Structure 1
């Protein structure tokens, strides 16, 4: 199947309540253009420099999602245009996003990344820290940042019950603070586990290799 055929397939099979983020990291602009021409508007990248280079070459109505770990000194490069920053996992980063958003006279949408996987290599706030962050309304001190919801990555395992349990844990936290923050985005699920994520409340899935092929 071509890229455009994959895009059309996911647009057909995903519920209307779930947004598809096409993870286009390392892929050439021509691949993104093909996906765009098939109707895709949300694209995910994990390196700010690469995303910025693509943003300058592609249609301006694309919504750019920063899904990778973010270095604070790189925030300024994406602040003028980024649509949603998924991997916000520390207060220092919130402060810098707020500062750069203010410099660009805009409010930047973010997700709090919660560590639900068992792998040490995965980033994110531990569940208890995330709960404290939300309970204390820490985000209220940063008026140029809008907290839209939570993001999480499940363990890389064949154990579907473990994956489901990890998605349940972040959905429980999401539901606790859903009303307080008017959340609308739970970004969980990737190419291998998106169907499990959707069963457990995901409103946004990040799919890359199943659309663009292996990297």
Structure 2
């Protein structure tokens, strides 16, 4: 289907959804795949609950942890299988590429809540802003991008939850602002969202922790990237209270397939799990939505 046909509510998009729904009812291979995915996500949910229980009642963020199923480079049929599962379908899905997210959102049910978790390019924000059921953007890394998303979000669309991405590892390969609370770009982004972006709701902070640090952490130790994000959040909460006179709690988006349990233990409110649910991903050039 040509890109121009990937429009929400178009006849072509509706027909694709109907076809996918029918195949999930009749195609043996897709049904087997659906059962595999459902079992996988049930295991992950059990691990999330166990990690919460192990952290105790004083865990930062309380008892709430949102599991985001990261479906990048996976077909729409995988997403629909999990969303339509009889035992309580998965609602929150994460994508890394705006063009892929645009196509998927056009052909899949509007009851899905989409999270954009990839690198955010200013040139692509217009398309992202027009996704009505965009629940959250986890990768805001400049005041300019926040202002652009706010300006391009259509009137009447739901407010978009946003996270400011912080580069806690200091790796050049990772996006995000420097973890400086008292000066620099981070506070500029935070204050801009809170004061100048009524179509955005600042939920908290996101980091992509270095997996090597999780693997190197000894028993009883935590990934230092996660520890750093907690400290940054606490510092920002204190500054917001001093400067604005209000108490806020910044939620943390951190932890992936290899380290989400330890991230929950230290206070993650959102975890982004992909390969443990969907399996190994194909190369981008080989991936197909349908």
Work out whether the TM-score is over 0.5: yes
Structure 2 unmatched runs, 5+: 1-34, 50-62, 282-290
Matched with 2:187 is 132
What is the Cα deviation at residue 13 of structure 1?
A: 2.6
1:159 aligns with 2:209: no
For the pair shown, the structure with the greater C-alpha radius of gyration is 2
CA contact 2:70–2:272 (8 Å) conserved in 1: yes
Any idea what the Cα deviations from partners look like across 1:122-166, whole Å, max 9, x if unmatched? Answer: 1100101355336x7232122222111010011131312686221
The match for 2:75 among 19, 28, 34 is 28
1: CA distance, partners of 2:206 / 2:104: 24
Q: How does 1:91-106 map to 2 (within 5 A)?
A: 91-103=143-155, 105-106=157-158
Structure with the largest fraction of strand: 1
What is the Cα deviation at residue 106 of structure 1?
A: 4.3
Matched with 1:168 is 227
CA contact 2:147–2:196 (8 Å) conserved in 1: no
Matched with 1:9 is 43
The match for 2:165 among 79, 97, 113 is 113
CA contact 1:164–1:200 (8 Å) conserved in 2: no
Q: How does 1:7-86 map to 2 (within 5 A)?
A: 7-15=41-49, 17-38=64-85, 39-80=89-130, 81=132, 82-86=134-138
Matched with 1:195 is 261
TM-score normalised per structure 2: 0.68
Q: SS of the counterpart of 1:52?
A: helix
Change beyond 3 A, Cα 1:120–1:25: same
Matched with 2:277 is 211
What is the Cα deviation at residue 121 of structure 1?
A: 0.1
2: CA distance, partners of 1:86 / 1:9: 25
Moved more, 171-180 or 18-27: 171-180
CA contact 2:207–2:253 (8 Å) conserved in 1: yes
Q: SS of the counterpart of 2:211?
A: coil
What is the Cα deviation at residue 30 of structure 1?
A: 0.7
Structure 1 unmatched runs, 5+: none
Change beyond 3 A, Cα 1:145–1:160: same
1: CA distance, partners of 2:201 / 2:38: 33
Aligned residues: 214
What is the Cα deviation at residue 177 of structure 1?
A: 3.3
